[in-house]
Structure formats: C-alpha cells, structure tokens
A and B are shown apart, each in its own frame.
Chain A
Amino acid sequence: MRSDAVLNEAVRGPSGPRKHRMLPSWVATTALLLPTYAWLTLAVLLPLLTMFVFSFMSATPMGKAPITFTLKHYRAFIDQPYLLNIGWTSLVIGFWTTLLCAIFGFLAAVALARATVGRMRETLLILILLPFWTNGLVRVFSWTMVLRENGFLDNVLHMVSADTGSISFLYTRYAIVLGLVHGYLPYMILTCYIALVTIDDAIIEAAASLGARWWTILFRILIPMAAPGLISGAVLTFVPVIGSFMEPRILGGKVGVTMGTVIEDQFTQAFNWPLGAALSFTLLAVVLAIFATFSGVLRRGAAA
C-alpha cells in the first residue's frame, strides 16, 4: 500500500494531490451567481408573483369581503370595451414617442459620436444627461408652464406677432408625446451613441471613397450597424411609455386617459388591486407580443 502511494506520487508528480483542493467549477459558478439570483428573486420575482396571484382574486385582500379566485379581471377588455380605446391610445402614444425618440436620438447620437471629440463630447453628454438628474415631476410641470395659454410659448409668439391667438397645446396628446419624448430621449441617445462609437471611422471613409453621400452612409451603414442600439433604445422607451401615468395626467388633462392612468387609478383611487394587476399583465402580454413580432421582422431584415 505504502509503496503504491509513493509510486502514485512519483508518477503524477506533486501537482497530483493539489488538484483535489480545487472545487469543481460548477460550485464556483453557483456561488458567484447566487447573490444576483437571490436578489432578483426577492426584488423582482416575488413582487411580480404576488401581483400575478392578486390578479386572480375577486377583491383586494385587505377588506372584509371574502376572497375567491376568479378570471373575471382578465375579461375587463371584453366587459368594458372602452378599455380597448384607452389601450389603443396608449399604444399610439407609445408608437409616436418611440419613433420621435428614435429619429432625434439617433441623429443626436451620430452628432455626438462622429462630429465631436474630447472635452466638447463630454460636455454635450453631460447636457444630455442633465434632465435625468432632475425630478421627473418638476420636469413635467415645467412643460405646463411653457405650453399653457399665456405661457412661455405664447409669450414668445406674441413678442414676434402680437395679434395672433394662442398656440397653446397643453392638454392634448401632442403635449403628452412632447413630455414623454423629453423624458425618454436620453435613453435612446445613450444606447445609439454606444452602438455608434464602436464603428471604425475607416468604414465610413471606405463608403465615402466608393461614392456614398451622407444619406447613403446614414441608411446603408450607420443605421444597420447601430441597429442593436436603436432596438434596445426602443425597448427602453416603449415599455415604460405605454405604462406611464404622470405625463398623460399632467400634460393631457381630460384627454390624458391611458392604460397607465387607468391602472394607477385601480391601485390608488378605486382600490381594486386585482383589476389593476390583471390590466398590467394584459399590457405586458401585448408588449411581449409586439416585440416578438417585431424582432422576427428585424431578424429577417438583418439576414437579407
């Protein structure tokens, strides 16, 4: 036995036994991932699951009413057809906000990534991020000051031509979209900027040397190459926008009834949490369906 051990040692060398002290790699992987997943479970999965369970309850589980499980909240869109209109409004607002963010955000990102260097670029990036650091509510309310009748916009107009009437468009859908674009534009600029700065200058120069003018370079080179940035920017904008309630409420007034405000009402005014939860999950399903369709189209477009 003894001589066997010595022989083993001699054959395997001193590195043989050291191997046994190393943990199998899956243990290390699990240990490293555990905190993240534990936190995700606690902070995301559990609340979501609670809401999911709520959405099947007959009443908010805080009153005296006896709780039964029901699917009726998921029939809200059938039972209350006006919700379809509201849902459609939300999607339209989401569509226009995302589209405008994509157009302005991409162009701003191109300017940032291609036309500026060093100090100038840093300063512009900070100016873009600045609205991020201000309170959202303050930002939205300041728009009412600009857009209301005899507000800043009207005053400027009247300085130029005193006789014209008001061009105030506060409490319209345009005002809602304007406020939302203002709020979500930085996401789009940043995601596009990150995608654009990785493009080698020589690629653009090669295109120009082959006879491409700026629009060809934009549509054939920059947009396809920065598509991942545009897509993640669109997701980061569209999802929160169709669930938003602050901008529609403050800038939309009477016309500002969206899925976001309806859901918020269920939680804060009507105290019907199950309906609010069911509407949220319905909205989530619609968003996922839209992205599933959209990503299929995009993938086919990229392959062509």
Chain B
Amino acid sequence: MTNVKVDTVAKTYGSTKVLTDISTEFVEGSFTSLLGPSGSGKTTLLRIIAGFIKPDEGVVMIGNNDVTNIPVWGRNIGMMFQSYALFPHMTIAQNVAFGLERRGIKGAAARKEVDRALEMVRLPGFADRMPKQLSGGQQQRVALARAMVIKPSVLLLDEPLSALDRRLRQEMQVELLRIQRESGLTTIFVTHDQEEALTLADTVAILDKGRIVQTGKPATVYERPTTRFAAEFLGDSNFLEGKVEGGAVRLASGTVVRTASTLPANGSDVTLAVRPEKMTISSGGSHANRLEARITTVIYAGPVLSYLLETPDGMAVKLFAQNKDGVVLKQGDTISLDWSPEHTIAVAS
C-alpha cells in the first residue's frame, strides 16, 4: 500500500522518443488504467515502473524509495502478463510459492500462504495440478495469486485480460476489482480496451505519442475531455469547428452553437466536441443547439441504433439513439438534432 511516483521520465529508442517528460503520481490504493493506442508509450511506462526498462531521464519512486536504479528483482512488485507466464514445469503450488521462496519463506509457512492465495482467487484444491491442465481464466487467476502472495508494493498488469474471451473477461474484471479493493493495493493497468479501462479503473490516464494528455476519474475524462485526441480515443465524438463570436461559436455554415465551456477571445478558432449519444432527434421542443442533417446510413446494433448523418454543408455527424421503437427513420430522411450546451465541450485540437 504505497504511492508510486514517476517524475520527468523520458525514454528514447534510437531517434524515436517513446516517452517525453512523464510526471504523474499513482495514489495509494488507486486503480489506474494507462490507456492509449499502440505506440503511445503506455507499455513502456509500465515496464519502466516495473524495472524492465531503465529510463534515460527521470526518477521512479515506490513509496519513499527511489527505485530508479534498482533492478526488477529488488522492487517487490506483483506483475501479470497477457500470456499468463506461469512456469509450465511447476505445479500450481510451486508457481505461487516461487516468490515466497525468493523471500526465504519455505515449508509449512509457505504452504499456508499459498493455500490462502489460491483461496482468494477461488481455486482451492488446484495446488497439485500443472498449469497445462487449467483453462485460460484459471491460469490467469493463478498468475494473480502468484503476484499477490508476495505482498507486493504495487500491482502491475500488462493487458492481463486481453487473451480471454468476452464472458470470461467480464468475470475476471469483477474478480480483479474485488481483490484489488480488498487488498487496497496500488494498481496500474495497461490496456487498449477503453471499456475495460472505464469499468475497472478509478483513475484513467490517456497517453498519446509518449505524453500523458489527460488524467482523471473515468467519468470526468469521458464527460470533459480536454483535447481532441482524448475525445476521439475514449468513446466517439462529433467535432464542430468554428470561430468564437459573442460568447458562442459560429460554424462555417453560419449555425451558432452555445457551450458551457469557457471560450477563448472573440475571433479565435475553436473546436467543439459533442458525444453522439448526447444528441437527440428533435421532437419539436426547444433546445439551445440544433442542426439539420440528412441520414446517410443507419447501423442496427441491437440496443443501440447509430445514425451517420450529413449536414447541408457536408459535415459528417454521428448520433447514437436507444432502440425504443425499432428502425423508424431511414436513409435519406432529414432530421433535426438537438443537444444542450452542457454537452458541448471546447477541446484543444
């Protein structure tokens, strides 16, 4: 139960800057998702915290200790991998006891800890089996038990659920969350699955091109993205470009859009982001913001209908609607879209 701090960390491979000036703190007991496209540096950051990679610059702190120059084996970390990484030639009990042995815990004391850890991941009675005899989900639970049994200072998860199928993944998410809450262990989680990031984490850090572009609670990052990249990468967004004019934004088409965000000075260029599910198909009431658009495609996805639309001046807009009455509107229909200024976010482009 420790803070993890990363201070002005940078890493360059050849001429590629993988991480640039990363400073962030993972608060004691928090569950942070590092989210970003491949090549954003999220895995590199995790591996720097783990000690597999040495940063070119900067400091990594676990608790009050500067661990920048301490190798992996001296950092007391718990780690889970996408490929489970169980030792195939050892039994489940030997796998879980491996880290205990390194800490001089052997015999009956070790056996007790192993049993407790296997109990925690709901696999009691599996001690004498070999990893090969277990399913993927069970193997990942053993990997979790193995990482947790050493009472690590921090739990690092490298896309641990990506190899599991959907149902099993959801089951493991619940399990992981329960164990994390019970242990109060500072947890850092790398994923490219944004739904997983939002579900599991209490803090989301979005990385792009080796920088953290936004950090915050999942709901905050989703509802109030600060950059165009964050609005686009996490969920879907419509972007409206215009110029500030008297406290509102005038689009190229002449439409005036109001926003609750703070705007720059009159005459400056600004980008507004609106989530497709925040827009509604007008039922005639009065809304602050309105656009006319023609439906180009209707995508039927069960509970949700996605409409791809085009405004008269050629701007593409997306809208998600609850499937209440089935497909009523069809391609070619022209509709009005309403949304509120609350849901209109000015983002840095």
Contact = CB atoms under 8 A, between A and B. Distances in A.
A211 B73 contact: yes
B27 interface: no
B148 to A, nearest CB: 11
B85 A208 contact: no
Contact of A208 (B73, B88, B156): B73
**Residue from A206, A213, A216, A302 whose CB has the most chain B CB atoms within 10 Å:** A206
Given A208-B72, A209-B77, A211-B103, A203 B87 contact: yes
Interface in B65-82: 71-79, 81-82
Contact of A207 (B71, B82, B87): B87
Nearest to B96: A210
Given A210-B150, A211-B102, A216-B102, A205 B89 contact: no
B52 interface: yes
Contact of B85 (A203, A211, A216, A224): A203
Nearest to B77: A209
A206 B102 contact: no
A246 B260 CA distance: 91
Given A202-B85, A206-B79, A302-B89, A212 B102 contact: yes
Contact of B72 (A200, A205, A216, A302): A205
B11 interface: no
Interface string B79-110: 10111011111000000001100110000000
A225 interface: yes
Nearest to B89: A224
Contacts of A221: 87
Nearest to A302: B89
Given A205-B79, A206-B79, A213 B88 contact: no
A209 B82 CA distance: 15
Nearest to A216: B102
B146 interface: yes
Nearest to B149: A210
Contacts, number: 64
Contacts of A208: 52, 71-73
Interface residues of B, number: 28
B102 A210 contact: yes
B243 to A, nearest CB: 52
Contacts of B82: 202
A115 to B, nearest CB: 15
Contacts of B75: 209
B50 interface: yes
A211 B83 contact: no
Interface string A186-208: 00000000000000101101111
Interface in B127-159: 143, 146-147, 150, 156
B65 to A, nearest CB: 16
A213 B81 contact: no
Interface in A150-206: 200, 202-203, 205-206
Contacts of A211: 73-74, 76, 99, 102-103, 150
Interface string B48-75: 0010100000000000000000011111
B170 to A, nearest CB: 23
A200 B77 CA distance: 20
Given A211-B76, A211-B150, 8 more contacts: A205-B50, A206-B85, A206-B86, A206-B143, A209-B73, A210-B150, A211-B74, A211-B102
Interface of B: 50, 52, 71-79, 81-83, 85-89, 98-99, 102-103, 143, 146-147, 150, 156
| Pairs A-B, 4 closest by C-beta atoms | A211-B102, A210-B99, A202-B85, A209-B79
